[in-house]
Amino acid sequence: MTEQSPAQRSIGDFAPKLVDLTDDVLFGDVWERPELSKRDRSLITVTSLITSSSFEQLPNHLRLAKQNGLTEDELKEAIIHLAFYAGWPRAMSAIQVAKKVFAE
């Protein structure tokens, strides 16, 4: 038996088509395109999640960003930078999520 993807574990029994699109298209195709490094894709994704207040997705993407080569200091600096472009409340919420994730 193969290990389930995060999407399969989270919503596989509820929305299998969304799992297929997530696993096959988003992570199987888009994230594998060579035009951007996975490190850069992670920074873009974390930034987008913060600017759209999608904090429920942020913990997994902060973990992935670290796996893809971003340091905790770089991620904290990105959040600080975003405070002035995306808004103070978003940055404060994001830094709380990062604090919990980085303490793991």
The pLDDT tens digits for 49-74 are 999 999 999 999 999 999 999 999 99
Statement to judge: residues 42 and 22 lie in one domain:
no
Q: What is the mean pLDDT of residues 15-32?
A: 95
Residue 32 tokens read as 């594998």
Residue 1 has pLDDT above 90, yes or no: no
Statement to judge: residues 66 and 77 lie in one domain:
yes
Q: What is the mean pLDDT of residues 32-54?
A: 98
Statement to judge: residues 16 and 56 lie in one domain:
no
Statement to judge: residues 50 and 26 lie in one domain:
no
Q: Which domain holds residue 6?
A: 1-35
Q: pLDDT averaged over the chain? A: 96
Q: What is the DSSP string of 49-72?
A: HHHTT-TTTHHHHHHHHHHTT--H
